[in-house]
């Protein structure tokens, strides 16, 4: 029997990137996975990209789970409330919540001071990345806390330790990604008495669909991206962080992580899972010990 057979998960923001990788791996572990986002096969979000929630749901089912696509704008409370009511009516419980809603790639103005950064784009970024998580937690957690050993994963970029020492090149981006780490810690305080676990989780250098396009490669030949940036060899597929979530969700002692800021590479060392190519990329030590130290690209000891 698959370790998450009978478990119900909601991956909020599963259209592409880490959300899609997480949904697939939860499905591979046997879970029923509700995948939400704004882009469907008949309607696109402001991203105007081809990836859809139906595609993600099909991949979940193909992996061995049950994928259920639901179009939801997580900034609209009524839509999130209806989603959670549907999950309760159809499944009776919710065991895993992954808040992966982001939507800010096209809004960030890198290395631009706050007085020059577009205020409209900056505030929109905050709404997309923080309000959505709060709205989703407001409606979903009252159902989730009824499940034994339930798990909440707040997805971000950078561990609390790394972000404390590194400015993330935009005040708005820095604020968002640090706030989510704190959000997970606050949630851990609120849900621990219900026997639930809340963590924040970051991938390393993620080979999302957008990143692959930037490097003009595919997942099949991604290593060719090293010709553009030699350090791209430390990158990881979205399935890697997906396996981190699946490992947490299947761990009967997951409460040991409650309130912590975690990374995919860190958890791979503990749980023993690998990326789809059999490696275990550990990005954040590499960023500090190799890139910041000015050393040439060398993943020895980091993959």
**Model confidence pLDDT, tens digit, residues 41-85:** 999 998 899 999 999 999 999 999 999 999 999 999 999 999 999
Strand ranges in the chain using DSSP code E only, listed in sequence order:
8-12, 32-37, 66-71, 96-99, 151-155, 197-202, 261-263
CA distances from 4 to 173, 179, 248 (A): 34, 30, 11
Closest by alpha carbon to 92, among 8, 35, 34, 162?
A: 8
How high is the pLDDT of residue 278?
A: 97
pLDDT of residue 280: 97
If you compute the radius of gyration of the chain from its CA atoms, what whole number of angstroms results?
18
Query: Residue 37's Cα: distance from chain center in Å?
Result: 13
| Helix-helix angle 264-271:238-249, to 10 degrees | 50
- The segments of the chain whose pLDDT lies below 50 read none
- Check residue 1 and give its pLDDT: 79
- pLDDT of res. 151: 98
């Amino acid at each position: 029997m698959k370790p998450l057979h009978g478990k119900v998960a909601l991956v909020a923001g599963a259209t592409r990137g880490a959300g899609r990788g997480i949904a697939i791996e939860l499905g591979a572990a046997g879970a029923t996975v509700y995948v939400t986002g704004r882009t469907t096969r008949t309607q696109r979000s402001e991203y105007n990209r081809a990836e859809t929630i139906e595609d993600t749901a099909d991949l979940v089912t193909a992996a061995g789970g049950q994928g259920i696509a639901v179009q939801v704008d997580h900034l609209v409370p009524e839509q999130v409330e209806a989603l959670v009511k549907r999950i309760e009516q159809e499944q009776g419980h919710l065991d895993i919540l992954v808040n992966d809603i982001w939507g800010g790639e096209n809004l960030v103005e890198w290395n631009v001071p706050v007085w020059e950064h577009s205020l409209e784009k900056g505030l929109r970024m905050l709404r997309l990345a923080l309000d959505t998580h709060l709205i989703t937690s407001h409606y979903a957690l009252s159902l989730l806390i009824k499940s034994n050993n339930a798990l909440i994963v707040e997805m971000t970029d950078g561990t609390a330790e790394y972000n404390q020492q590194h400015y993330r090149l935009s005040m708005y981006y820095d604020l968002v990604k640090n706030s989510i780490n704190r959000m997970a810690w606050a949630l851990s305080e609120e849900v621990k008495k219900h026997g639930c676990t809340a963590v924040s989780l970051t991938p390393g250098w993620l080979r999302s669909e957008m990143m692959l396009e930037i490097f003009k490669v595919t997942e099949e030949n991604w290593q060719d991206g090293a010709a553009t940036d030699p350090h791209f060899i430390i990158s990881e597929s979205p399935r890697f962080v997906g396996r981190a979530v699946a490992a947490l969700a299947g761990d009967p002692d997951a409460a040991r992580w409650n309130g912590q800021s975690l990374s995919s590479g860190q958890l791979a060392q503990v749980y023993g899972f690998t990326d789809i190519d059999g490696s275990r990329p550990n990005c954040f030590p590499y960023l500090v010990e190799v890139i910041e130290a000015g050393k040439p690209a060398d993943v020895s000891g980091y993959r």
